[in-house]
Amino acid sequence: MDMKLSVIQFTLILLLASFANYAQCLVIDIKKYGAPNGDITSGLTKAWKEACTSRTKAKIYIPKGTYNLLQIEFRGPCNAPIDFHVDGMIKAPAEYTKMDGNKQWIRFDHISHLTLLGSGVFDGQGAAAWKQNDCGINKNCRKLPMNFGFGFLNHSIIRDITSKDSKTFHVNVLSCNNVSFIHFTVTAPETSLNTDGIHIGRSTDIKILNSNIATGDDCISVGDGNKQVMIEKVTCGPGHGISVGSLGMYAYEQNVEGLFVKSCTIKNTQNGVRIKTWPSSVGAIHASDMHFEDITMINVSNPVIIDQEYCPWNRCSKQIPSKIKISKVVFKDIRGTSATKEGVTLLCSRSVPCEEVLLSNIDLKFKGTPAIAKCINVKPILQGNVPACTR
E runs forming strands in 92-176: 106-109, 114-117, 121-123, 148-151, 154-159, 162-164, 171-174
The C-alpha atoms of residue 30 and residue 46 are separated, in whole angstroms, by: 9
The C-alpha atoms of residue 291 and residue 333 are separated, in whole angstroms, by: 11
CA distances from 31 to 36, 81, 274, 318 (A): 10, 21, 46, 57
Whether 110 contacts 78, CB under 8 Å: no
Sign of CA dihedral 72, 75, 79, 81: positive
Whether 104 contacts 172, CB under 8 Å: yes
Which is the catalytic residue, given 196, 224, 240, 307?
240
Q: Furthest-apart CA pair in the chain: how many Å?
A: 83
How many C-beta atoms surround the C-beta of residue 241 within 10 A?
A: 27
One-letter amino acid identity for 136?
G
Q: Which of 328, 362, 368 is nearest to 345 (CA)?
A: 362
Asked if residue 246 has a cis previous peptide bond (ω within 30° of 0), the answer is yes
The C-alpha atoms of residue 101 and residue 106 are separated, in whole angstroms, by: 12
How many C-beta atoms surround the C-beta of residue 193 within 10 A?
A: 19
**Residue 217 catalytic?**
yes
**Residue 289 catalytic?**
no
The C-alpha atoms of residue 244 and residue 234 are separated, in whole angstroms, by: 16
Q: What is the DSSP letter of 112?
A: B
Whether 117 contacts 83, CB under 8 Å: yes
The C-alpha atoms of residue 115 and residue 262 are separated, in whole angstroms, by: 25
Asked if residue 77 has a cis previous peptide bond (ω within 30° of 0), the answer is yes
HSE-CB for 353 with a 13 A CA cutoff: 10
Which is the catalytic residue, given 217, 224, 289, 307?
217
Supply the residues annotated as catalytic: 217, 240
